[in-house]
């Protein structure tokens, strides 16, 4: 929500054509791009990576238990 409001607040800078826009527009582009990509990474990529690594950990624990590891001691 915070990233969305920040992006919406920077839209006027992205669309600026007046005096000083040569400096403000590239800065706004970088900030909006960074917020957008970090939000996508946080919402989609990070949970997928978590599920992948959690699945590997759970699978490794099951293999240890069936092989007579510490769980059977």
Domain range summary for the chain, segments of one domain joined by +: 2-68
H/E stretch holding 57 reads: helix 46-66
Spatial distance between the Cα atoms of 47 and 18, rounded to a whole number of angstroms: 42
Using pLDDT thresholds of 50, 70 and 90, give the confidence band for residue 59. confident
Answer whether residue 70 shows pLDDT above 70: no
Using pLDDT thresholds of 50, 70 and 90, give the confidence band for residue 67. low
Of residues 8 and 71, which shows the higher confidence score?
Answer: 8
Closest C-alpha to 33, from 10, 52, 60: 10
Answer whether residue 65 shows pLDDT above 80: no
Spatial distance between the Cα atoms of 9 and 3, rounded to a whole number of angstroms: 10
Q: Contact 7/29 with Cβ under 8 angstroms?
A: no
Mean pLDDT of the chain: 87
pTM over 0.75? The answer is: no
């Amino acid at each position: 929500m915070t990233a969305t409001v920040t992006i919406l607040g920077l839209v006027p800078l992205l669309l600026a054509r007046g005096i000083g826009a040569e400096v403000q527009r590239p800065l706004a582009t970088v900030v909006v791009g960074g917020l957008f990509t970090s939000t996508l990474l946080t919402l989609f990529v990070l949970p997928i990576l978590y599920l992948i690594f959690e699945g590997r950990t759970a699978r490794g624990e099951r293999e240890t238990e069936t092989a007579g590891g510490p769980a059977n001691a």
